[in-house]
């Protein structure tokens, strides 16, 4: 047969050939779907506990089912999410061991169940108890250098939890999960969650927040040979301070103090506006009249603790 004749034979009656291909495909899919295979199907476990009792440890919520059956039936079972209902309503407090295979599985249809995993579950039942506990914030990390956490106040301070009596009856407080305060330089309000013991849960959906109070680290420094300058400057040539240098002690935020150098500090001896005397005694504690004022450049975060000597005499030359 020539090449042209072969091509004409292939394209002759295309509709019949297409139908034949579709029929073959349907038959193949049917055979595949009816083929018996072994598989593992995941199912849900539904626990029915006795009224007023609770498991001391979380019970498994999933089970693996080793099954045998037609491939198509197994796919339907997977989509239908088979489940295993465990009725424990007749049990009392204490330790128990149950065989899961003793309970029927819903949703498998004609599939044969060969084995469950886990096949047995051991657990203990305890009376359900409710208790109010104090929230204990747990902080991790450190604020930026020069700052510290002054306090951490949870809101609410007290929360209600419930769980096995053995887990909550003697509990006074419950810690939070770690709260990261790394890099903080100012007060912050951070969300938090309780670090609940196994089997214990919160009652209600109240939001837990922790108010973080951040303060600058405190430090103190003493500077010597600080010059005393008469103020106003236009009067300085006519008045002489004694002593002419003093020591100054500063205290405040460590970060601010680090930026204060001895050359930045000056003690001003303020003369009164009405110069009626030939000399004046000045100090930091003077409330009226002449007084000493320290200029240090540390801003509001730094305070003057002491000038030594405490008094300076300013005498007209």
HEC assignment per residue over the chain:
CCHHHHHHHHHCCHHHHHHHHHHHHHHHHHHHHHCEEEEEEEEEEEEECCCCEEECCCCCCEEEEEEEEEHHHHHHHHHHCCEEEEECCCCCCEEEEEEHHHCCEECCCCCEEEEEECCEEEEEEEEEEEEEEEEECCEECCCCCCEEEEEEEEECCEEEEEEEHHHHCCCCEEEECCEECCCCCCCEEEECCECCCCCCEECCCCCCEEEEEEEECEEEEEEEEEEEEEECHHHHHHEEEECCEEEEEEEEEHHHHCCCCHHHCEEEEECCCCCCCCEEEEECCCCCCCEEEEECCCHHHEEEEEEECCEEEEEEC
Q: Confidence band (pLDDT; 50, 70, 90) for 256?
A: confident
Percent of the chain surpassing pLDDT 70: 88
Total tally of structural domains belonging to the chain: 3
Q: CA–CA separation, 48 vs 91, rounded Å?
A: 10
What is the reported pLDDT for 216?
83
| Structural domain that includes position 51 | 35-118
Q: Confidence band (pLDDT; 50, 70, 90) for 258?
A: confident
> Does residue 19 lie within any of the structural domains?
no
> Does residue 7 lie within any of the structural domains?
no
Could you say which of 185, 216, 247 is where a domain stops?
Answer: 216
Whether 311 and 227 share a structural domain: yes
Whether 204 and 243 share a structural domain: no
> Does residue 65 lie within any of the structural domains?
yes
> Does residue 287 lie within any of the structural domains?
yes
What is the reported pLDDT for 5?
59
Average pLDDT over residues 115-131: 94
Whether 242 and 310 share a structural domain: yes
Per-residue pLDDT for 88 more than 80? yes
Query: What CATH number did the domain enclosing 151 receive?
Result: 2.170.120.40
Q: What is the pLDDT of residues 40-69, one digit of tens each?
A: 999 999 999 999 999 999 999 999 999 999
Where do we find the tokens 């394209």?
11
> Does residue 59 lie within any of the structural domains?
yes
* Max avg pLDDT among 72-81, 152-161, 278-287: 152-161
Query: What CATH number did the domain enclosing 304 receive?
Result: 2.170.120.30
Give the orientation angle of helix 71-80 with respect to helix 14-34, to 10 degrees: 70
Per-residue pLDDT for 12 more than 70? no
Average pLDDT over residues 293-312: 92
Q: Confidence band (pLDDT; 50, 70, 90) for 24?
A: very low
Q: What is the pLDDT of residues 136-194, one digit of tens each?
A: 999 999 998 888 999 999 999 999 999 999 999 999 999 999 999 999 989 999 999 99
What is the reported pLDDT for 200?
93
Whether 104 and 172 share a structural domain: no
Whether 139 and 72 share a structural domain: no
Nearest Cα neighbor of 239 from 247, 249, 231, 251 is: 231
Average pLDDT over residues 279-290: 84
- Between the CA of residue 152 and those of 33, 124, 167, 205, what are the distances in Å? 63, 37, 26, 22
What is the reported pLDDT for 20?
54
Per-residue pLDDT for 220 more than 80? yes
Residue-averaged pLDDT of the chain: 88
> Does residue 20 lie within any of the structural domains?
no
What is the reported pLDDT for 261?
92
Per-residue pLDDT for 28 more than 50? no
């Amino acid at each position: 047969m020539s090449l042209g004749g072969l091509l004409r034979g292939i394209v002759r009656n295309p509709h019949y050939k297409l139908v034949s291909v579709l029929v073959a495909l349907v038959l193949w899919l049917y055979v595949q779907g009816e083929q018996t295979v072994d598989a593992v199907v995941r199912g849900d476990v539904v626990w029915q506990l006795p009224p007023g009792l609770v498991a001391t440890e979380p019970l498994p919520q999933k089970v693996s089912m080793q099954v045998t059956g037609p491939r198509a039936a197994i796919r339907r079972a997977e989509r239908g999410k088979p489940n295993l209902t465990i009725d424990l309503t007749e049990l009392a407090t204490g330790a128990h061991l149950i065989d899961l295979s003793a309970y029927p599985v819903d949703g498998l249809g004609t599939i044969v169940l060969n084995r469950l995993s886990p096949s047995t579950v051991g657990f203990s039942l305890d009376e359900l108890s409710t208790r109010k506990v104090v929230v204990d914030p747990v902080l991790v990390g450190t604020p930026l250098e020069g700052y510290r956490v002054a306090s951490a106040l949870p809101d609410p301070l007290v929360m209600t939890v419930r769980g096995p009596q053995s887990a909550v009856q003697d509990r006074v407080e419950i810690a939070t999960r770690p709260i990261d305060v790394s890099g903080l330089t100012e007060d912050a309000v951070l969300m938090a969650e309780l670090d609940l013991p196994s089997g214990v849960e919160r009652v209600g959906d109240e939001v837990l927040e922790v108010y973080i109070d951040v303060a600058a680290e405190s430090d103190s420094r003493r500077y010597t040979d600080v010059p005393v300058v008469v103020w106003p400057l236009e009067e300085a040539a006519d008045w002489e301070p004694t002593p002419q240098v003093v020591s100054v002690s500063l205290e405040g935020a460590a970060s601010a103090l680090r930026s204060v150098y001895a050359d930045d500090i000056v003690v001003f001896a303020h003369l009164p506006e009405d110069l009626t005397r030939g000399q004046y005694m000045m100090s930091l504690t003077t409330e009226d009249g002449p007084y000493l004022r320290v200029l240090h450049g540390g801003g509001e975060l730094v305070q003057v603790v002491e000038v030594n000597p405490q008094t300076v005499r300013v005498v007209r030359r």
